[in-house]
Copies of this chain bind each other. A is one copy, B any other.
């Protein structure tokens, strides 16, 4: 297997109360750059910042790194608008972080990101790729594009208490400032991304579309951000098989996850890392609803005994 990890930033994450992917909103800009270093090297290299939530729950990148040590899978990291440099080897498809979705345009270069990522997806010659992401603020932008596409599904959160009201407010302001209403971008997913998305989205779409195009199977390894990526692909006209691997933590936070994946014709796997069977403080924090997912961590326990029956 090859694990493709797409890292990028959006100013949307710096809005108060939106993201737990950083000890404070400004530090969310460091998170994707360091997440890529953690998965690659097992430690931060260009900085000494370990990404953690405001309450000290460490980034899921550490879990992915731990599993990588055990399984030894290959990783291809893709950079889609990082605000901070990373020491990880990355394929750069774009340099600019996304704007706050309350601006008129969130991702001006959405089409270019998609085109370049497609070329990369086609160049990966693998049987199957697993695509993960690190983009703080990504569930808010996910909610934004779902509404612009006219998809009614909800999103999860990296915070223990999902700030759905705050997210809905930001998304509403975003749709208004971009003059796009519910469903106005149906069938035009790159337009939805351009107006209210983030730069990781067209990159995940491009890698997936390019890989599928060249006969590589695709599993989206993530939570509701990857449901949004799947919705974007369906609105692009991609009809190939798609699967989604996520965690019980996301599943428990997202009432309509099964409905969404059914409607979008996505094969859903919910895995349970059994963090309740350990007393390590960080894993207990996951059980209490922190972080939940990210950096592809959901994919790794895809063994029968840990897959929760649906």
Residues of A in contact with B (beta carbons under 8 Å apart): 41, 43, 45-46, 76-77, 85, 87-92, 116, 119-120, 123
Known A89-B91, A91-B87, A92-B92; contact A116-B46, beta-carbon cutoff 8 A: yes
A87 touches B119 (CB 8 A): yes
* Closest chain B residue to A37, Cβ basis: B123
Closest beta carbon of chain B to A216's beta carbon, Å: 14
Q: Which 7 pairs across A and B sit closest by C-beta, in order of nearness? A: A89-B89, A41-B123, A89-B91, A45-B123, A45-B119, A87-B120, A89-B90
A89 partner residues in chain B, CB cutoff 8 A: 76-77, 89-91
* Closest chain B residue to A122, Cβ basis: B45
Partner of A45, one of B77, B90, B120: B120
Residue of A41, A90, A123 contacting most chain B CB atoms (<10 Å) = A123
B123 touches A87 (CB 8 A): yes
- Given the complex of chains A and B, what is the CA–CA distance between A45 and B115 in angstroms? 11
Copies held by the complex: 2
Known A41-B123, A45-B119; contact A90-B87, beta-carbon cutoff 8 A: no
By secondary structure, the A interface counts as mixed
- Given the complex of chains A and B, what is the CA–CA distance between A45 and B123 in angstroms? 7
* Closest chain B residue to A74, Cβ basis: B74
- Given the complex of chains A and B, what is the CA–CA distance between A76 and B92 in angstroms? 15
- Given the complex of chains A and B, what is the CA–CA distance between A132 and B216 in angstroms? 32
A85 partner residues in chain B, CB cutoff 8 A: 92
A77 partner residues in chain B, CB cutoff 8 A: 89
A120 partner residues in chain B, CB cutoff 8 A: 45, 87
- Given the complex of chains A and B, what is the CA–CA distance between A90 and B119 in angstroms? 16
- Given the complex of chains A and B, what is the CA–CA distance between A262 and B119 in angstroms? 47
- Given the complex of chains A and B, what is the CA–CA distance between A71 and B170 in angstroms? 53
- Given the complex of chains A and B, what is the CA–CA distance between A43 and B125 in angstroms? 12
